[in-house]
Amino acid sequence: MTLEAIPLFRSLGRAELQALRAITQERRFTAGQVIFREGEAGDGVYFVKSGLVEISAGGGEGRVFSRLGAGEIFGEMSIIEHRPRSATATAAQDTEVYFLPRGEMLVFIERSPAIAFGLLQQISHRLRELNQLHLREVLEAERLAVVGNFARSIIHDLKNPLSIIGLSAQNFSKPNLTDEARAQAQARIRRQVQRINDLVGDILAFTEGRSNADIRPGNLRNFVLELAAEVQSELAGKSLRLVLENEPPDVPIAFDARRLGRVFYNLIYNARDFLEDGGVIYLRFKTGNQELLVEVEDTGPGIAPGIADKLFQPFATHGKAHGTGLGLSICKKIIEDHGGKISARSEPGRGAIFCFTLPLGK
């Protein structure tokens, strides 16, 4: 199979294909030869040119859970996640592959939003396939609920950034787009790719019970104002509003901007899922007792009695068709890693109110 015949690259123009060929390496493997091993550094992504590749995990005589033929992709997680390989790839027969190194591929993705969107679709599709595989196995082992909820949670959290990338890619391809608008579309795509990378990292840290926080002194006021401006533009398309009742105070706080942003996004998008057109999400800030209190309140139906204390438990959920509560569990861990606390409540005549604290710096 030629490079341009691979589904991910069919929409590329002549110049983009030439640039792609310049960074592509062709490699050959005999039947039974290992292409890469589980635990090795993820140095790039592969596409099958001809032959058959088996993907296995578990070390030693690992179980084969996928077989890939001409045109199919493997090793794709190395593009958004710079971590060791999670599986082993082996040539099941004499096989030829196209290899694209991680660094060069990242540069190419930044220049081609269509490839970025297509690659993330491939990753989402692969997650769905793995989800179905795990569901079947867990059913046999009577652990269906736990793994099924976990896989659905990942897919659900990918939808927002994938949607933004899709819209930005469509705008990017418009022939009359200004250079400024094109640059803005590229910047949005880069932010969402980073957002997905951060999501993967947070889920791995949570499931492994470790902290990956990088807490340092920063300007929380500017951070929140920039985040709020970005979220407001996303909510506007759904006839919803984000309102800052007061601006975040300019006080000394040490925080991890990437992970704390995950908390804000999660709480705001959770509120959005319960709102109808015209709904409002409020952000408010209070200082006192050597801590900053942040509240996120919506105009939705509120939280049912007896549910608030359970919302932060893994896989607990309330009122969402596709929610699992895993996102709120991650939020709880992030806030606790910052030395704060998070809680939820509902009052008569008001929607849900989530609040968390952050200790003030000295």
Q: Has residue 213 been placed in a domain?
A: no
- Same domain membership, residue 69 and residue 35: yes
- Find out whether 53 and 67 touch, Cβ atoms under 8 Å: yes
To 10 degrees, the CA torsion angle through 57, 61, 66, 70? 110
Walk across the sheet containing 63-68 and list its strands.
34-36, 88-91, 53-57, 63-68
Region 98-108 average pLDDT: 89
- Find out whether 362 and 326 touch, Cβ atoms under 8 Å: no
Report the domain count for the chain. Answer: 3
Judged against a pLDDT cut of 80, whether residue 229 lies above it is answered with yes
Judged against a pLDDT cut of 70, whether residue 170 lies above it is answered with yes
Q: Has residue 347 been placed in a domain?
A: yes
Q: Which of the listed residues 74, 102, 130 is the one where a domain comes to its end? A: 102
- Same domain membership, residue 143 and residue 94: no
Domain hosting 191: range is 112-208
- Same domain membership, residue 281 and residue 195: no
The pLDDT assigned to 53 comes to 94
Q: Which of the listed residues 72, 102, 132 is the one where a domain comes to its end? A: 102
- Reported as type and span, the H/E element at residue 168 is helix 144-172
Query: Average per-residue pLDDT in the chain?
Result: 81
Judged against a pLDDT cut of 80, whether residue 41 lies above it is answered with yes
CA distance readout (Å), 64 to 54, 97, 180? 6, 19, 48
Q: Which of the listed residues 173, 208, 243 is the one where a domain comes to its end? A: 208
Region 229-256 average pLDDT: 88
Q: Note the pLDDT tens digit of each residue in 280-333.
A: 999 999 998 899 999 999 998 888 777 777 788 765 555 554 444 567 888 898
The pLDDT assigned to 96 comes to 96
The pLDDT assigned to 78 comes to 81
Judged against a pLDDT cut of 70, whether residue 75 lies above it is answered with yes
Q: Has residue 24 been placed in a domain?
A: yes
CA distance readout (Å), 112 to 5, 6, 16, 124? 17, 16, 8, 19
The pLDDT assigned to 15 comes to 85
**Which CATH number do you get for residue 331?**
3.30.565.10
d(CA 245, CA 353): 14
Range with the lowest mean pLDDT among 54-58, 217-221, 317-321, 326-330? 317-321
Angle at which helices 14-23 and 102-111 cross, to 10°: 170
